[in-house]
Chain A
Amino acid sequence: MLKLLKQIAVTGIKTEAAPRPDASLRLVEQRLRDEILALFAGSLAIRHVDAGSCNGCELEIHMLTNPYYNVEALGIRFVASPRHADMLLVTGPVARNMETALRRTYDAVPDPKLVVAVGDCGCTGGVFGESYASCGRVANVIPVDVAVPGCPPTPTALLQGILAAITATG
């Protein structure tokens, strides 16, 4: 136990300042009213859905929770059920084998809800495109508010996109 406590003390606080939202990642105008956004800004519950990614984007979503980015300190947390979520963070080209599951997950999120598509595949279908096995970009299957490109997008880029989704336009 002493070693554990010593390690915490030696490590210190590593958290860095959060980036600014990047409004250029928006696909559609902000749909939510300022009062709702004010609520989300202090406590945003995100449900992640891998709709068919290569798992590269998942690695970076995991990194959001490390002490450097520390998204929990911004009031952002990942939840286990879409019914607890304000936002879906969707990765991958949407595999056709995941199409129904993604639609059902989207329907299970209570309104008002937001969707952020993640990665080059989530934005355009990426190297996998559209085929017998892939529906391509996330917006081909469910409505998307913000799309964050990158292969995979860095935690900073992800955060800029998530913050853009809960920020009033203009």
Chain B
Amino acid sequence: MKPPAAIGALGLAAMPIRSAVPAWHARAEAAQLRELCVSVAAKGGRLAALWGADERDLGEGFALHLALIVDDLLFWLTVPLPAEAPVFPDLADVFPAAGRMQRAIRDLLGVRATAADQRPWLRHAAWPEDVFPLREDFGLENWYGAAVEQYPFVAVAGDGVHEIPVGPVHAGIIEPGHFRFSVVGEKVLRLEERLGYTHKAVDKLFAGRAVAAGAELAGRISGDSTVAYAWAYAMAVEGATGVEPPSRAIWLRALALERERIANHLGDLGYLGNDGGLAFGLAQFMRLKEDVLRLNAELLGHRYMMDYVIPGGVERNIGRHGCDELAEQSERLAREVRVLKDVYDDHAGLQDRFLACGMLAPALARKLGVVGLAGRASGQPFDARVVPGFAPYDRLGVELHLQTTGDVAARVAVRFAELAESLRLVQTIAGDLAPGQIATPLKTAGGRARGIGWVEGWRGEVVIALECDRGLIRRCHAHDPSWQNWPALEHAVIGNIVPDFPLINKSFNLSYSGHDL
């Protein structure tokens, strides 16, 4: 099979990867890597994920893996690195999001980029610098006493500059992370994030599991995106093992994914109102979100639909009556949200907080590779449901909603538009659901294989790369869109006042757990 032109032009021997999304794989030498990345970036391509693997048991040293989006295809590139000197060229100037991923690879695997920033990222003080937990010869059960880390933050100097350290335990009900603000008076000169607090060995825990058993873990990488992760994982397993989920299951997955988007957007719109000083918004939107969760529990067996998507299909069916209830709820929510949107739009105090706050200009968003809803609020037209449009979205026809102002107001507007679109999609699916099976049994055996999942969750694209052998996971890497978007938050907050940070942060609403793995 001949690769598409954009991949063929790179001059590598590329092979198709069996997947629900168009995906190709190739190997390249470390010496070619920078040139390849520059060429991909020059043609408008981007880096979706970067991870490493220990292949020494196969006599192949280490491997660096890249998931690139090239001309709307997923291109998985593998770069072998020698066991004795696993070093690869720095990619952070080509793809800025690569910087932290490179540091994470070094912390977990001891494979290093030739980058200036060699500070640890996921490693704090829980394991020593010369211990690499993702290596084959490291036992998961090893552990070292707790120590306190002295992390070298970048210092800002000058007349009247001072620092505000925030976290890891935050003032609200949110995940842990540290924010170091350098401020003059109220104005933020610089924000530096320190993440990794919730690192809990996800990649290591995948290794050695049966592929079917990996789904439970995949669904708990970032709880608010459990459907997106479970689907991306299922997609990877199905591709790797050659299993085709039934059509009805794929439609039910889309139903669950849109219900997840609806629930999260409702919650965020409530909290954005609240952080802007309108508690009314929180009470109203959280009431609607609770209605969604209750119907999820009734029809899909779980308020957040955890473990609903399984490799091969979905876990339970929905009857005619259930479909009617879903359609009815979508219609009611759409009506109620329109009323609340009017209240938000007309509220001068709220709009004053939203407009021109936390700006991320499209050109900067493009350079940083910002994805998902934050990207779309800054003019980045990426939505995997639209392009490549994996099934059943190719049939559903999702409308892409873009804003270009890149402020909190834009991220609010994208949420309102996508909420309405998801409510429409749920209504369509509930009305058009064709009869049929809801799962295909998984095949147990099979040799070495790879699979890839690429799903547009409510926050952005979730990518899961899987390598398995005889039904067991060799390496599974899960990538959260927050990797791309956390650095963008540092930029968006510059020049704003400290009290606007909670609002700006909420408007991005990034995952700590999904990022920390």
Contact = CB atoms under 8 A, between A and B. Distances in A.
A14 B336 CA distance: 15
B143 to A, nearest CB: 5
A126 B217 CA distance: 10
B174 interface: yes
A7 B175 contact: no
B482 to A, nearest CB: 11
Judged by DSSP, the binding face of B is: loop
B287 to A, nearest CB: 5
B168 A98 contact: yes
B196 A97 contact: yes
B141 interface: yes
A55 B289 contact: no
Contact of A66 (B143, B221, B286): B286
A71 to B, nearest CB: 12
Interface string A21-62: 000000000000000000000000000111111111111111
Contact of B340 (A7, A66, A100): A7
Contact of B220 (A50, A56, A95, A154): A56
B127 interface: yes
B222 A67 contact: no
A80 B175 CA distance: 14
Contact of A7 (B133, B172, B205, B284): B284
Contacts, number: 167
Given A3-B339, A95-B197, A131-B200, A54 B290 contact: no
A130 B204 CA distance: 12
Contact of A133 (B126, B303, B347): B126
Q: Name the residue in B173, B286, B512, B516 with the highest tally of chain A Cβ atoms < 10 Å from its Cβ.
A: B173
Contacts of B280: 4, 7-8
B295 to A, nearest CB: 13
Interface string B191-225: 00000111111101100000000001100111110
B198 A97 contact: yes
Interface string A121-149: 00000111111111000000000000000
B342 interface: yes
Contacts of A63: 286, 289-290, 293
B382 to A, nearest CB: 23
Contacts of A8: 280
Contact of B169 (A93, A96, A105, A132): A105
B381 interface: no
B499 to A, nearest CB: 14
B201 A66 contact: no
A51 B176 contact: yes
Nearest to B221: A54
B306 A97 contact: no
A92 B216 contact: no
Interface residues of A, number: 52
Given A80-B172, A101-B197, A131 B143 contact: yes
Contact of B205 (A78, A82, A97, A128): A128
A29 B290 CA distance: 34
Contacts of B24: none
Contacts of B204: 131-133
Interface string A92-129: 11011111110001000000000000000000001111
B126 A52 contact: no
A161 interface: no
B251 interface: no
Interface string A69-101: 000000000101110000000001101111111
B102 interface: no
A130 B306 CA distance: 22
B85 interface: no
A131 B140 contact: yes
Given A8-B280, A55-B223, A80-B172, A92 B342 contact: no
Contact of B173 (A14, A62, A93): A62
A65 B175 contact: no
A152 B302 CA distance: 10
A58 B173 contact: yes
Given A67-B287, A95-B199, A130-B143, 6 more contacts: A54-B222, A59-B304, A61-B173, A97-B196, A98-B168, A100-B146
Interface of B: 124-127, 133, 138, 140-144, 146, 148, 168-169, 171-176, 196-202, 204-205, 216-217, 220-224, 226, 267, 280, 283-284, 286-287, 289-290, 293, 303-304, 306, 339-340, 342-343, 346-347, 511-513, 516
- What are the 5 closest A-B residue pairs judged by CB atoms, nearest first? A56-B223, A96-B126, A66-B286, A80-B171, A133-B201
9 contacts: A52-B197, A56-B223, A66-B286, A80-B171, A92-B198, A95-B126, A95-B199, A100-B146, A132-B144
